[in-house]
Structure 1
Amino acid sequence: MELSSLLRDLHLSSSSSSSEKPRPPHPLPPITELLAHLQKLLIGAAGNPSESSKLIGQVQRLFQTADPDWLLSPVSDDEGTGWAELRSAYRSVISALIGCAALPLCEDDCSSLDAAAYQSVPSGAAAVCSALTALLGHWREGGGARRAETTGLVLAVAPPIYLFSVTHLQVSVFWLSQVTRPFLCPFLPRLLPPSLLLNDHYRPENCMLGVRCLHHIVLNTPVLSCLLDLLLVLEKPPSSSSSSSSRKPCRHDDVLRLVLTHMEAEHKVALRRVYASALPLYVERMGVAVCRHLRRVERVLLGYLEVRDPPEETSRLKMLEVLQRTSKWAWPRLADAHGHTPGPEVMILLL
């Protein structure tokens, strides 16, 4: 019997409401019997990408719409035997499901395949992940009263799922490499832990994948704000030091001087926006010690206000914030640094 007709007999489809559990007119078959049937269908469709993709989608809809109590109902009256059969059935069907996204085999350990042989792998792996997520989510919903048995199910299917994740780790590395600045930074908390785990892997080739991920993250993530945290470890900020120690140049001065040098030479609007977003934090950290850099801060300030940054004008707004914070800390020196204040030039640029 085809899986689609089986779903129709069970009245389980994606159109069923989550608030109303389906009530089929015929009694539901035992879950172990259905899982055995699904296993045969998945094994038969493993060599056909189009057929397996359609079948995996139907399996996902089944796991999404079925009653969680039915998915966790052992057949045998003996609870120990019934749960053992259920664990074995789920482990078999999940192994068959993962087999639909298996990597193509090489002739030997030394040879490799063309890139065309892996074209259907990412889409198949994504479909399998969706089906597994739907099943595990239903287990979590229906396993509240039977937490021990549900935990046993999860432990039984954990080995093939773990091997599936490790096998397709290169897919994650590939998609990470496709995301560049500035879109990478918001997802950094979710992307950094897997990269660190890969970096600590026992296989050297996987360690190299982790290094590649970390290198890509470093290249596409602004590090100017991170430097502020590192400087706090090395020394006290000039804004919180005593009047005698704040007069001595420190590492904060070196970093701010380097940032201003790069800002003066930068012509790309996207990078200017990154620099402009970080500069107010550095000025606030320097405090009154920013007086040592007034001349260069003024040049950068006027230069960035001259260039438009549509549509939000982020660079200009940040530079006005720099002017505000500089005036807050160094207002006695603004009038006599060059014999005039930058106020008129700023007003001309804004008008």
Structure 2
Amino acid sequence: MELSSLLHDFHLSSSSEKPLPCSSLPPITELLSRLQEKLIGASSDSETSSLIGRVERLFQTADPCWLFSANGDEEWAELQAAYGALVGALIGCAALPPCEDDCGSLPASVYQSIPGRAGPDQVWTSSSSRAAAQSLQEVLLRAGGWRDSSHLLMGDKRREEQGGEEGRRSRGLLGGILDVLQPQLTKDSWQRCEAVKLVFSWTLLQVTRPSLSPHLSHLLPPSLLLNDHYRPENCILGVRCLHHIVLNTPAADLRLFNRAEVLYQALFKHLYTSETAVIQPALSCLLDLLVVLEKPPLSLGPSSSRRTSCRHDDVLRLVLTHMEAEQKVALRRVYASALPLYIDRMGVAVCRHLRQVERVVLGYLEVRDPPEETSRLNILEVLKITTREAWPRMACRVDVLLRCLLKLLVAVSSDSGLSVSVRQTLMNQTCLCLKLLDGCCHGDVQRLLQQVDSSCCSSEVLSCLATVTVTNS
């Protein structure tokens, strides 16, 4: 009865007291089109609410075979477009007005209809709306036979390749969702609704290889818009999206149309910011992106190309420059945690940066970083990697590095603010650095350590130094 009444109101069939069989019903696309027009043209909240209620009852009572009836790819595409347009109209009914801060001034009266209870976690949510959204997602997954949200978005590739009706039903919904989001993800519109960026990023982060690459042209622009925004929280979200794209897209697709170079430039500029939360993910993303743009210096053979500066050098040089001057503890920790990975990637090519690396090592080992001493431990890792890779160039630096490491041992052994485990780890790593340096200079470190005045050192320090001389003797 409900369906017949709805069709009669839209002049799609005559009213009837009995349910109509699918064979005598008009195409579902016609009804979806009429519903969309009505929702867009509704003149009052009550009219909109009534229409939304009728749409809900339509999907509760109508035959699924009619709701999703399509013969061939052309009709299936038309059906997808009709549902997408209807979903867009429904989103428009539920959307908040544009944000005043980002999109020009709006009269205060525009916001008077927004209930105050709609802002516990985010301005567009409440506990009931989140529960309803979760419930709706669970119903959708059961209705479509999807395992989880990722399966819903990506579909089943093997079944899709089989073609036919089964293949169409195995397609993911990512393309349709992006079509709905696309008008709201342009440069001029994405800031009008705070929810859009989170819906987009949540969708993107569910998609992995090989389903992401075909949609790259729709996923990259919004990610870059977020990455380029002046607000740190948007930058972080954008970098996270870009990193996910880098990890889940074949290198050849990223290099196509110079995409990888665009990503590199967009991420490289973040290295000039002082926002710790932005620099950390940017450095991580750049590390994975660089291998898409060029071969790591470590993998190059013994040729003149090893002596040619590359993007790896540019990033490392800038990071080292900032590390030398940085005074903020949080930023020092971020740089120190990223540096071992970059030094390891450079391999023997780290020789091009030895003077800067040495200054950073000396400077960071002198400064305490309680309670976990993460900066010092990471810098000791840098020293170990550098010594292994560039050992012929380290002999001339043994004297200054040895004095620094001995001072570190003495300072750590007498630091009552450190836990026993942290103190022991620091001392063990320091001794390992001493052993590596000793190997570089053919036993010179052992001879120098034998000159240490035992009356000036604690038994703990002497015990550590003994392991260096005993192990290598």
Greater length-normalized contact order (CA 8 Å, ≥ 6 residues apart): 1
TM-score scaled to structure 1, two decimals? 0.50
TM-score scaled to structure 2, two decimals? 0.40
